[in-house]
Amino acid sequence: MKMTSAVTSKAILVPTSELDLDHVCVSGQTFRWQRDEDGWWMTPVGCAGTVMRVHRQDEKLIIESRGPLAESAARSYFNFAVSMKEMRGHWERSGEGDLVRAIDNTPGLRIARQDPLECLFSFLCSSAAPIHRIRRSVDGMSRELGENLGSWHGVELFAFPDLESLSSAAKSDLDRLGLGFRGRYIIASARYILAQGGRAWLDRLRGCSYSEAKAELMKLPGVGEKVADCVCLFSLDKHEAVPIDVHIARVARRQFDQCESFESVTPRAYAAMSGCFRERYGEYAGWAQQYFFYEEIDRRGIWDQELKKHRPKMSGH
């Protein structure tokens, strides 16, 4: 399947405080954004063959797409139903100075509302792996198993693999992509979902409660609490989901007295830390987690390194 030649374009007003593309595209929640030769951010969206290309022009967000991506879908992807201005104001009035500082240090960082299938299998690649390796694994899996969408603005593009392709993948091919033990989880999880009725089973989790959606996800091979919470937060509208890794564990030990004694992220520690976030930051605790996560990683200069990898190619210069 090649991309259709039809290109749609739309400009919408989005304050810079509500969306910073650099922050969103390298923030460890999504792994397929690339900068094209003109400096625009571009990503295939799920398995359907759609590609979204975005660029900021002052207070406008310019959205181009090839394939069936309407303006409403782009608004959905960037979660514009959530107002960062209102959220920041609420936390400022509540006296959450540390969180407000983290927001002000990374204005425009948002939680993306991703395709659930792509989000799930991307995070299945993430166990014990740094962000650059996850990107490489997800890209390799798309090239190996996804549809070739051709090239647009100097970027070669591939759709994310569908369930049928993932379920029938050879473990040796996934090993070659460096997925190791994760490969068997990817194949087994795809087969499990197909047995439950396909992606409709996954999509319906958006309508479930957070606890029900997380419990269903944890039935999948290789999906533990952290991966389940990532999928809940980044694709299933569960804004209260709080993924806990070593970075957020450090934040929790600093922020909450009852977490100081946890030396590692055991199941008991995970429950306590995520519970503290929800108790303190409420229904959008997952967004608070993302700001603290970004700030914690930024102490090590990781985001600058990631952005350097996405510098546009200078075609013809």
Q: Is the dihedral of CA 265, 269, 275, 279 positive or negative?
A: negative
Neighbours of 23 (CB within 10 A): 18
Dump strand ranges (E) for 119-174: 148-152, 155-158
DSSP-derived secondary structure letter, 114: -
Task: For residue 85, indicate whether it is catalytic.
Answer: no
CA 24/CA 13 separation, integer angstroms: 18
Cα(31)–Cα(129) distance, rounded to whole angstroms?
13
Q: For residue 216, what are its two tokens?
A: 């269903």
Number of Cβ atoms within 10 Å of the Cβ of 284 = 17
What SS3 state is found at 301? coil
H or E element in which residue 152 lies: strand 148-152
Token reading at 50: 């759609």
What are the angstrom distances between the C-alpha of 256 and each of 164, 240, 259, 273, 294?
44, 17, 5, 8, 19
* Helix, strand and coil percent figures for the chain, each rounded to 5: 50, 10, 35
Annotated catalytic residue, options 10, 214, 226, 313: 226
**Annotated active-site positions, please?**
226
